[in-house]
């Protein structure tokens, strides 16, 4: 049985501020640098969601990409696009919105909502060069 990985890529823009309440002001500045700017800043994020599964023997499909897109939009994109991740997103409340933490939060939003297949990977491009990957462990 061939195990196949199917990826849907989506885009959103959002603002964030990297700041941990468990660090002093000086430590926050040291760790996060410019990303600690009090009023926040924005990114054009790219999100890749990968689903694994065995293609259906009749239709050859692991997951219907139109359905997958709809679920990712309703569970993630519609809630974060053009929002400030520190203040406006219920499922990210209390989380420092690093790319790492965002990837984990997105995984939790999506893992039980797929139309078929199994969630394999969340890959979040904060910039073309800064990327976080989460596989649920």
Binding residues vs Ni ion (CB under 5 A): 35
Q: Between residues 4 and 132, which has the closer beta carbon with respect to Ni ion?
A: 132
CA–CA dist 105, 103 (Å, integer): 6
85 close to 16: Cβ distance less than 8 angstroms = yes
Q: Which residues does the annotation mark as catalytic?
A: 35, 82, 126
CA–CA dist 106, 118 (Å, integer): 15
Q: Between residues 6 and 35, which has the closer beta carbon with respect to Ni ion?
A: 35
Closest distance between Ni ion and the C-beta of residue 92, in Å? 14
Closest distance between Ni ion and the C-beta of residue 68, in Å? 27
Residue nearest to Ni ion (CB): 35
Closest distance between Ni ion and the C-beta of residue 86, in Å? 11
Give 3-state DSSP helix, strand, coil % of the chain, rounded to 5: 30, 30, 40
Q: Angle at Cα 81 formed by Cα 77 and Cα 86, nearest 5°?
A: 105
User: Which tokens belong to 43?
Assistant: 């990114």
Q: Between residues 35 and 68, which has the closer beta carbon with respect to Ni ion?
A: 35
């Amino acid at each position: 049985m061939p195990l196949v990985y199917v990826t849907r890529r989506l885009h959103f823009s959002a603002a964030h501020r990297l700041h941990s309440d468990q660090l002093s002001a000086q430590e926050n500045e040291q760790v996060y640098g410019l990303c600690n700017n009090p009023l926040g800043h924005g990114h054009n994020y790219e999100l890749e969601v990968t689903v694994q599964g065995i293609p259906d023997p009749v239709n050859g499909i692991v997951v219907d990409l139109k359905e997958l897109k709809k679920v990712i939009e309703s569970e993630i994109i519609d809630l974060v696009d053009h929002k400030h991740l520190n203040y406006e997103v219920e499922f990210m409340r209390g989380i420092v919105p690093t790319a790492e933490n965002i990837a984990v939060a997105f995984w939790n939003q999506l893992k039980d909502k797929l139309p078929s297949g199994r969630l394999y990977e969340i890959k979040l491009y904060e910039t073309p060069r800064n990327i976080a990957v989460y596989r649920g462990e």
